[in-house]
Structure 1
Amino acid sequence: MVCRTIMTEHAVQSYTVERVDFAMTPDSQFPDRKITYREYFMERYSIDVLRPQGPRDQPMLVCLRRKGVCVIPPSLAKVTGPPRHSDERALRLLRTNLIQKTRTDPNTRYRQLRDILPILTGQPPRTRARESLQESGIAFIEPTDFMHLVGRQMDVDLCMADVGLRDLVEPGGIGGAMKRSVARGPDQQLLEVLVLHERGERELGGFMNALNEQLMSYQVGVAQRPTTVEVPGDGRASSWVRAARNGIEDMLRRHQMETGKLARRCLVIAILPDSLPREVYSGLKKLTYVDFPVACQCVRRSTLAHKMGVARSKLVGQIVVKCGGWIWAIPAIKESLRDTETGNVRKTMVIGVSTGKMPRQQGVLAACASTNDEMTSYMSAVQVLPTPSGTDTLSVVDTFKEREAAFMQQCLPPFLQRFAQTNGCTPERIVIYRDGVPEAEKPILHNLYFRQPAEGAINRGLQEFAAGFNPAVTMCVASKRGPGGVRFFQMEPNSQRVSNPPPATVFDRDIVRPYKFDFYMTHQPVTQGVVSPTYYDVLQNDSLFADGLGGMATEPFQELTQQLACIYMNWAGPIRLPAPLMYAAKLRDMVSDVLKCAPSDELRHHLFFL
């Protein structure tokens, strides 16, 4: 057990076992308190560590967590993860073996699945497997082979980025020089850039020179040279937070600004040593995103030391996006929004909605909505849902899905108002992407969003914005796995070999349900392992009332989905999800894992969480 990693039931946290203390039992008292460990867990977590008929003399596990020591009963611990070897070479070998077993190439995976087919189909002598499947109502259409179907690859020109050259370029092929030529910087000039670094930082000089050069090349104006703030090298989170707070307060005094005005005018960059605990990162993010709304970018020292050329371009690219700009756009998005009947380009707003869990809270809701025609600028909203108590008489919603619907009703009016301010008109179409929802919960979610259109959360939010407002609404649920975790192989002609399907390939026949608008899509090229397609299920695709604009056609919607997967500003190339949904997931993770609370509203008009 020594040096093994364990997880606890009462709190989802990991610990490292330092030793097993056989002299202690759950009935032993704390060193500084007159209470036993068993009484503590019963009082604090309502858990009996002995369980029914459990041994009273079980030893205790002395564990380490973030330089602290704690004692945990074995009955609450579950062993997880590989053992911590003293030999790093053995650990690297273990990781390599795991990767080789899990990331098999398409031909190997195809052969392994073919070997399993006779077992599942119950061919002699394994007839028991077939009988068990028949009793469960499961049957194979083609018992001796896989299902054969036809996929359709989209036109690659639909996802090309404009980089100011004669020809368009794939997003994955955009280099640093191309990004600098088309990047749109923030609307306002930055007043000051604050750089936090540890005392005696070796990479500071080269980083400062590269930072000034890159900011100018990306058209990010700064009123003065970056200011450096030295942090004591004691490795404490409090020292970094104190230095950052003092530096931000000095910026406020120098520019005679209020706290809320810093969001788009100043920037904090922290060069973090690799050995610092995670509390330093969390403390800096809480300070800059909650207390002082200002953009913050953290970078590790090892990244600057070994990958300065690559890191500086990506680093400044993230800074541009965090301050309200963007790096590239895809002109063909407007063609996907063109009406097939009238030929007019419909003004469209896309929204990504993501939900997640949070310790000691019911959950987190996050949403990001596009505010311009290029779908590169976004406005965000996030809400932390406290666990409802029995004495809370003000709460009128009980379930998580009902709270989500109420959250969307609150978000729509400010999203639409921001879109109208940016474009001078309201959107004619709204496309909502929601992250994975189980099949059994999809009717519930659709009922809360669109029930009896006049009573649904979406329509109530639209009418709060403007009475009689009736745009076309498309809602799609995106899942990284889909029903059953389907995999696709491309058969090579005149050969028994298979390969991964090419990027931007759609599978919308034979394997999908005939009564639904759903499809599979492989967004990106895969060089390791077997490609995992994304499953899309469209729950709503029409105006809420009869006199409005109709829904999107199948092919334009699929093209828009692929194009949105190519304009995620944190990666030059397609990703597995549309960009607004990925932005919402990033915001959700930032709140649930780092901030533990909602960020300041002053930051909601740009992608500060990248």
Structure 2
Amino acid sequence: PPPAEGDLGGRGRQKGAPGPFSAESKAKYKSTCICFLCQMICGHSLIFFFFFLEDYQVLCKIVCLHMCTFSGTTGTPIQLTANCFRILSRPQWVLYQYHVDFKPQMESRRLRSALLFQHETTIGSARTYDGAVLFLPHRLHNKETVLHSMTRNGENVQITVTLTNELPPTSPVCIQFYNIMFRRILRILNMQQIGRNYYNPSDPLNIPQHKLTIWPGFATTILQYESAIMMCIDVSHRVLRSETVLDFMASLRQQCGNQRFTEICAKELIGLIILTKYNNKTYRIDDIAWNHTPNNTFKRGETDISFKNYFKTVSVVPSTRGNSGGKPFSFKEMIMKDLSTHTRLTPDKREERLSRFVGNIQKDAEAQAELDKWGLSFDKQLLNVTGRILRGETIFQGSRSYEYNPMTADWAREMRGLALMQSPPLSNWLVLHTRRNYNEAQSLVQTLSKVSGPLGFRIQRPVVIEYDDHQESLLRVVVILSSNRKDKYDSVKKYLCVDCPTPSQCVVSRTLSRPQALMAIATKIALQMACKMGGELWTVDIPLKQLMIVGIDCYHDTTAGKRSIGALVASLNQSMSRWFSKCVLQHRGQEIMDGLKMALTAALKDYLKFNKCLPSRIIVYRDGVGDGQLHGVVNYEVSQIMDSIKSIGQDYEPKLSVVVVKKRISSRFFYHNNGNVLNPPPGTVIDTDVTRPEWYDFYIVSQAVQLGSVSPTHYNVVYDTSGLKPDHMQRLTYKLCHMYYNWQCWTHFIYSWFYAHKLAFLVGQSIHREPNVELDDYLFYL
């Protein structure tokens, strides 16, 4: 049947709840469903329906008049490999699902497992049992099998094993089973789980000068992709401190003394994750009991035991403090540089490590025996995929246009000496500095005057003021900060973004202490200042008319009662160089789109005021959400967006697309050229094989990296009534990667989303209040 009332169609492929189907009704239902779908081919809307065979779903794709496929065709083909290995199964592979019932009932799961596994000769050695459901790779002789066991107390127990399902390899239950089974393989290889990933503690990388240890590991997931069921695997690293918590506390006491030790120690430690090496388990520090000593006791079973005696019974190998907790480490640049030599792998090293790992699984006798029990194996080769390289964009700046080197994805050199598209003059402004930063302030003012002329950005001589170096004196100034202390920056931004709405620029004096780089630094500062005043730097050709691009991101403010902060930015002109920005603060647990609905309504009214018309097409790029939340994005957030549109007028019906953007993904792609393994060139699009069958999705490599492996960005079109072909959607998305005004190069994300991210981050980190409405039309947060 069609989706229930309230569910949204669009091009997003929405799943319904699976229902029961008898074997004799499958063929008739399939025929009826397809006939119904054929009648729905019309116009530019694309709707997806699902029918289910038993407990697994089959996707029906409707081919609309405007689009025959979810893959593009433009661009130069390029052969790549992906970090995916196919799951291979023996012919006619089926997973058999059984329900297990005990009489009398056994409360203990461990006891239930022990009683069931007494019958290995009947059920076999290959089995997975979670306490209620039993999975077997073979079918038992009878649909219902009755077994008898006896407990240690001599109690007779009847076990009834009933067949409930026969699951094909593509069943969602089988996909879940594959992941469970592979985690078992990783444990066989003596890898330890921390968080979601597994690491190898027997092969650590030590950085003794920083008291750090790196555990190499892997992030894995097995899913149904477009071409096959595959395991996506990527290299992961866990950075741990090799000092104990006690060592850290002792060092902290030496630094801060006894007076504020307990306060600072609690601030540094509470929320962190520690790992105890005697059992390789992780624990979160929730509190510190300052009134307890090692002689205090606690209940262990039926007896009391002191902490001192308890730890005498376990290994005394020191614990390790990890960075996986709620508060990240504050690494210095030198530490990050040393870490990157171990963690930032080049494409050839990354691919070699992945292939070696899968090879090690096949060489390990115990791991291979476990796979053989279930009739499963992994392909020995990485997956071959075909991508496409989109042509480079022409950058328009002022009255000039220019091309850039597509391999470096950088046009900082090409833009030098060219006037900006538009930049209001800066005639009345202040520069404030401390007494010790007088020379840096004078150098900055002089250099800004030199670099602004060729940009067409007229800057008059500022009023230069010296201020005292303490927080209270910064409340009404724009300032060269003597250090990067957060409280000083926060006080400036809070006053100038809320109380006295004024574009501001903060510069740390250390940034200005390198004379050889001062011209480049001053140029970037001048560009930022021009942006914050409403200037327009450059653009690319956007062929779609009356288009509004919207970016949405969320931030959770932990310092203000964990409130949700939603940021929305929306383009106001054809060149995508002017923006409306709005940030809303809501209480913890409140749906973020409640406030963003009002923000989008305000953006549409601002667009109307700016252009004397409303946009005919709106494309929303939303920050990445988990796969399980996609249905909520469509059914809740899209409806909120539609309500915002309807509030403008009943006759206003623009075409709408909603795209979920994911940056933190495990997918990697490698380009083989003349025997070398390289990163794919910028502009590479992948929309086959590694995409998901139930989604309209694609990957774009939109940046060049000098070190390590490039990370693609994943785009999932969850709702679409635009009528745009995949080529058009991919090309437009790629164009928008050129428009982030903080960098004169491609970015690996859509700039509309990143503007929203910058705004939400500024409010959540520094302001904790909604910015003044007078700044809504300015990029004051860059």
Match of 1:211 in 2: 448
CA distance in 2, matches of 1:272, 1:20: 28
Q: Aligned to 2:355, which of 114, 137, 149?
A: 114
How far 1:179 moved relative to its partner? 5.1
Maintained 8 Å contact 2:419/2:456: no
CA distance in 2, matches of 1:379, 1:15: 47
Match of 1:327 in 2: 537
How far 1:162 moved relative to its partner? 4.5
Quick check: 1:104 aligned with 2:341? no
CA distance in 2, matches of 1:367, 1:601: 13
Q: What is the RMSD of the two structures over their aligned residues, measured on CA atoms?
A: 3.7
Quick check: 1:373 aligned with 2:614? no
Q: Aligned to 1:384, which of 585, 593, 598?
A: 585
How far 1:279 moved relative to its partner? 1.1
CA distance in 1, matches of 2:500, 2:696: 45
Quick check: 1:272 aligned with 2:497? no
Q: What's the CA shift string for 1:307-355, capped at 9, x where partnerless?
A: 2111110000000001101211112x22xx3xxxxxxxx3110000001
TM alignment of 1:130-149, pairs within 5 A: 130=371, 143-149=379-385
Q: Aligned to 2:390, which of 154, 161, 178?
A: 154
CA distance in 1, matches of 2:748, 2:261: 52
CA distance in 1, matches of 2:291, 2:627: 38
Q: What's the CA shift string for 1:99-151, capped at 9, x where partnerless?
A: 1111111111111111111234576463245369x59xxx66x6110111101
SS at 1:144 equivalent: coil
Match of 1:44 in 2: none
How far 1:575 moved relative to its partner? 0.6
- Judged with a 3 Å threshold, the aligned counterparts in structure 2 of structure 1 residues 507 and 348 are, in CA distance, closer, same or farther, namely same
Structure 2, unpaired ranges of 5+: 1-209, 213-239, 242-247, 271-285, 298-318, 325-330
- Judged with a 3 Å threshold, the aligned counterparts in structure 2 of structure 1 residues 206 and 52 are, in CA distance, closer, same or farther, namely closer
Maintained 8 Å contact 2:402/2:414: no
Match of 2:706 in 1: 527
TM alignment of 1:487-506, pairs within 5 A: 487-493=668-674, 495=675, 497-506=676-685
CA distance in 2, matches of 1:92, 1:530: 20
Instruction: In structure 2, give the amino acid aligned to 1:479.
Output: K
TM alignment of 1:11-410, pairs within 5 A: 17-19=251-253, 49-50=288-289, 55=294, 79-80=321-322, 95-121=336-362, 124=365, 126-128=367-369, 130=371, 143-156=379-392, 158=393, 160-162=395-397, 164-165=399-400, 167-169=402-404, 172-175=409-412, 178=415, 181-187=418-424, 189-200=425-436, 201-221=438-458, 225-232=461-468, 235-241=469-475, 245=476, 268=478, 270-274=479-483, 277-306=485-514, 307-331=517-541, 333-334=542-543, 337=544, 346-359=545-558, 360-387=561-588, 399-400=589-590, 403-410=591-598
Match of 1:459 in 2: 642
Q: What's the CA shift string for 1:507-549, capped at 9, x where partnerless?
A: 001111233210111111122111111111100110xxxxxxx
Maintained 8 Å contact 1:198/1:231: yes
- Judged with a 3 Å threshold, the aligned counterparts in structure 2 of structure 1 residues 131 and 377 are, in CA distance, closer, same or farther, namely farther
Identity %: 25
Maintained 8 Å contact 1:176/1:313: no
- Judged with a 3 Å threshold, the aligned counterparts in structure 2 of structure 1 residues 51 and 202 are, in CA distance, closer, same or farther, namely closer
Q: What's the CA shift string for 1:533-569, capped at 9, x where partnerless?
A: 1111100110xxxxxxx43210111111111111100
Maintained 8 Å contact 2:565/2:592: no
State the aligned residue count.
Answer: 486
Which range is displaced more, 409-418 or 578-587? 409-418
Maintained 8 Å contact 2:451/2:519: no
Q: What's the CA shift string for 1:145-191, capped at 9, x where partnerless?
A: 011110111011x354446446444695434683552313445x445
How far 1:492 moved relative to its partner? 2.0
CA distance in 2, matches of 1:112, 1:441: 33
CA distance in 1, matches of 2:348, 2:592: 43
Maintained 8 Å contact 1:361/1:385: no
SS at 1:375 equivalent: coil
CA distance in 2, matches of 1:92, 1:574: 24
Quick check: 1:412 aligned with 2:600? yes
Q: Aligned to 2:652, which of 469, 490, 512?
A: 469
- Judged with a 3 Å threshold, the aligned counterparts in structure 2 of structure 1 residues 601 and 94 are, in CA distance, closer, same or farther, namely closer
Larger Rg: 2
How far 1:278 moved relative to its partner? 2.0
Maintained 8 Å contact 1:436/1:478: yes
Which range is displaced more, 409-418 or 581-590? 409-418
Instruction: In structure 2, give the amino acid aligned to 1:350.
Output: I
How far 1:31 moved relative to its partner? 12
TM-score where L is the length of structure 1: 0.72
Q: What's the CA shift string for 1:390-422, capped at 9, x where partnerless?
A: xxxxxxxxx54xx22222321222111211222
Structure 1, unpaired ranges of 5+: 8-13, 42-46, 59-76, 83-89, 248-267, 338-345, 388-398, 451-455, 543-549
Which range is displaced more, 281-290 or 299-308? 299-308
Q: What's the CA shift string for 1:268-295, capped at 9, x where partnerless?
A: 3x22223x62211111111111111001
- Judged with a 3 Å threshold, the aligned counterparts in structure 2 of structure 1 residues 363 and 291 are, in CA distance, closer, same or farther, namely same
CA distance in 1, matches of 2:363, 2:338: 32
Maintained 8 Å contact 2:593/2:640: yes
SS at 1:364 equivalent: strand
- Judged with a 3 Å threshold, the aligned counterparts in structure 2 of structure 1 residues 571 and 449 are, in CA distance, closer, same or farther, namely same
- Judged with a 3 Å threshold, the aligned counterparts in structure 2 of structure 1 residues 122 and 428 are, in CA distance, closer, same or farther, namely farther
CA distance in 1, matches of 2:579, 2:250: 41
SS at 1:520 equivalent: strand
CA distance in 2, matches of 1:515, 1:356: 29
- Judged with a 3 Å threshold, the aligned counterparts in structure 2 of structure 1 residues 31 and 353 are, in CA distance, closer, same or farther, namely closer
Instruction: In structure 2, give the amino acid aligned to 1:363.
Output: S
CA distance in 2, matches of 1:30, 1:592: 27
How far 1:443 moved relative to its partner? 0.0
Match of 2:715 in 1: 536
Quick check: 1:478 aligned with 2:634? no
CA distance in 2, matches of 1:505, 1:31: 53
Maintained 8 Å contact 1:121/1:130: no
Q: What's the CA shift string for 1:164-219, capped at 9, x where partnerless?
A: 446444695434683552313445x4451110111241223222222334444433
Match of 1:609 in 2: 781
Maintained 8 Å contact 1:290/1:598: yes
- Judged with a 3 Å threshold, the aligned counterparts in structure 2 of structure 1 residues 79 and 166 are, in CA distance, closer, same or farther, namely closer
TM-score where L is the length of structure 2: 0.57
- Judged with a 3 Å threshold, the aligned counterparts in structure 2 of structure 1 residues 492 and 175 are, in CA distance, closer, same or farther, namely closer
- Judged with a 3 Å threshold, the aligned counterparts in structure 2 of structure 1 residues 17 and 237 are, in CA distance, closer, same or farther, namely farther
- Judged with a 3 Å threshold, the aligned counterparts in structure 2 of structure 1 residues 93 and 472 are, in CA distance, closer, same or farther, namely closer
Maintained 8 Å contact 1:122/1:128: no
Maintained 8 Å contact 1:4/1:17: no
Instruction: In structure 2, give the amino acid aligned to 1:194.
Output: L
Instruction: In structure 2, give the amino acid aligned to 1:414.
Output: A
